[in-house]
């Protein structure tokens, strides 16, 4: 049976063991503060052993028949399906997530692995002509070697798997450093899944630790060729700079400040429902969540009234309750940061449309009105159940407000005229944007990534295959060239 306690170990070179550090990481339930487990942290030496094990095993994995690789990845999906109820319980306990969110995340994970299972059969190359006689150029798609994955706390199962499964499918080894708030869902559960699926011993490793113990050792280690990070822009900037300094490729999926635009011809009732889902799913702790609701001034009052009514109906509380929509944010520090941002917005001239109470790290939803684009609350990512509403007078102003941010991840536009929405979308600087839909959207074969400070690189489908492989040029001369000397 899968339990947090049974998965609260390091997983290094096929062995479940304690880390070498004297420091303990305490894994708590965000909703009730219950201590779920303690884990002896990994040290720099543990990280070295993990990378070396992955390096050695990858040489074996690269030679495994492509159809066998595919079967192993398919085994991982079967394992998840067999243990789906247990995994749901783990998500609820470790993340404080609702059952709705757990089902959503597990579905995303299964689809991502199914796509990655096609990668072993897509490692094709090319033969290209040469400017020289009797010569051909061969291009081989090969694995990069070992990938280091640093995952976040909000969707740790999926956002770890988003890099892990494609990296394995492309023939690489993987070492995961999960967020310290979610060591099981972001790391050790994934190791267990692939262990049971049949990957070679040592190919996948998980080191549970924190930055105070290891510094930049996970990034600086000479073995990994790629560091894939999902998390805050501040941390991502540091990781990207350190990775580049050591000539490693960073893949960065960072923060967002998505705009949800409601035009005057939009279906208001549908827009209200969609905006609610876009903001308050998993308590607003999603990088693609709609931070800013931009509403045409002609429908502003109607939208705000219906939006307030809808959001007020969301049940807040115990994530185990099937009716709960909003559970806790990750910790009290995050709740405190959000409360401070709300207070500062009032000081800057905003007003409260819906005031939510805060108890520990359980926050009721808050809607803020009279927000102007330059206010801090409109410029920063809101990682919790807080949202601001901003009126606009025409589509150009909506575009300008949407672009008035250093982020550029996702967005949505609601309008009866789809082509108007598409033309607006082309002028909004984001990696993705959705017409008449939610801002929180991900599909396994469509390019996913941000612009500006929302990240570097694209994942999913062919883009993941490109990111986790490299092209090697081998030329063959069938004759003898003539040289000038």
Residues annotated catalytic, as ranges: 253, 287
How far from chain centre, in Å, is Cα 197?
Answer: 23
Buried b / exposed e over 292-312, threshold 16 CB at 10 Å, is bbbbbeebbeebbebbbebbe
Q: 125: buried, middle or exposed (CB in 10 Å: 19+, 13-18, 0-12)?
A: middle
Max intra-chain CA distance, the chain: 84
Burial of 364 (0-12, 13-18, 19+ CB in 10 A): middle
Q: 135 near 477, Cβ under 8 Å?
A: yes
How many angstroms separate the Cα of 240 from the Cα of each of 162, 163, 255? 18, 16, 14
What are 475's two structure tokens?
């030329």
Strands 290-296 and 351-354: unpaired
Who's near 237: CB < 8 A, 6+ residues apart? 453
Distance CA(246)–CA(242), nearest Å, equals 7
d(CA 20, CA 40): 7
Q: How many CB atoms neighbour CB 372 within 10 A?
A: 15
Cα–Cα distance list, 276 to 273, 306, 307 (Å) = 5, 11, 7
| Distance from C-alpha of 173 to C-alpha of 60, rounded to nearest angstrom | 10
The torsion of the CA quartet 269, 273, 274, 279, rounded to 10 degrees, works out to: 140
126-129 and 35-40 beta bridge pairing? unpaired
Structure tokens at 86: 């247990």
Side-chain-side CA neighbours of residue 128 (13 Å): 12
Cβ neighbours of 133 (radius 10 Å): 10
């Amino acid at each position: 049976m899968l339990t947090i306690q049974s998965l609260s170990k390091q997983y290094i070179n096929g062995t479940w063991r304690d880390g070498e550090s004297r420091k303990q990481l305490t894994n708590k339930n965000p909703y009730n503060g219950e201590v779920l487990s303690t884990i002896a942290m990994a040290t720099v030496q543990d990280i070295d052993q993990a990378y070396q094990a992955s390096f050695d095993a990858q040489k074996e994995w690269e030679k495994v028949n492509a159809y066998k690789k595919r079967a192993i990845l398919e085994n991982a999906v079967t394992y998840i399906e067999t243990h789906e109820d247990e995994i749901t319980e783990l998500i609820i306990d470790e993340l404080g997530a609702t059952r709705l969110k757990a089902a959503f995340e597990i579905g995303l994970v299964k689809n991502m692995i199914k796509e990655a299972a096609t990668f072993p059969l897509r490692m094709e190359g090319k033969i290209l002509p040469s400017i020289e006689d009797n010569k051909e150029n061969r291009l081989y798609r090969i694995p990069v070697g070992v990938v280091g994955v640093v995952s976040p706390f909000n969707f740790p199962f999926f956002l770890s798997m988003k890099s892990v499964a494609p990296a394995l499918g492309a023939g690489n080894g993987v070492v995961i450093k999960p967020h310290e708030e979610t060591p099981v869902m972001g790391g050790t559960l994934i190791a267990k899944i692939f262990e049971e699926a049949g990957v070679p011993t040592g190919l996948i490793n998980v080191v549970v630790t924190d930055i105070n113990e290891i510094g930049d050792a996970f990034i600086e280690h000479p073995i990994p060729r790629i560091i894939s990070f999902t998390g805050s822009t501040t941390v991502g900037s540091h990781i990207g700079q350190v990775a580049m300094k050591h000539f490693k490729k960073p893949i960065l999926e960072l923060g967002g400040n998505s705009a949800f635009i409601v035009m005057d011809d939009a279906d208001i009732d549908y827009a209200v429902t969609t905006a609610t889902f876009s903001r308050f799913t998993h308590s607003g702790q999603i990088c693609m969540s709609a931070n800013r609701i931009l509403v045409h001034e002609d429908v502003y009052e109607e939208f705000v009234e219906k939006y307030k009514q809808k959001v007020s109906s969301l049940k807040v509380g115990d994530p185990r309750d099937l009716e709960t929509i909003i559970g806790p944010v990750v910790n009290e520090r995050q709740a405190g940061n959000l409360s401070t941002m709300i207070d500062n917005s009032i000081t800057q001239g905003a007003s409260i449309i819906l005031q939510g109470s805060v108890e520990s790290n359980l926050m009721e939803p808050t809607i803020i009105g009279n927000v102007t684009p330059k206010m801090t609350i409109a410029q920063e990512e809101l990682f919790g159940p807080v949202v601001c509403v901003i009126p606009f007078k025409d589509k150009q102003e909506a575009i300008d407000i949407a672009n008035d941010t250093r982020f550029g991840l996702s967005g949505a536009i609601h309008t009866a005229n789809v082509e108007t929405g598409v033309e607006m979308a082309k002028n909004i600087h984001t990696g993705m944007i959705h017409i008449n839909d939610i801002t929180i959207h991900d599909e396994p074969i469509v390019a996913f990534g941000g612009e500006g400070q929302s990240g570097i690189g694209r994942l999913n489908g062919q883009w993941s295959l490109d990111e986790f492989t490299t092209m090697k040029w081998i030329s063959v001369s069938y004759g003898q060239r003539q040289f000038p000397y």
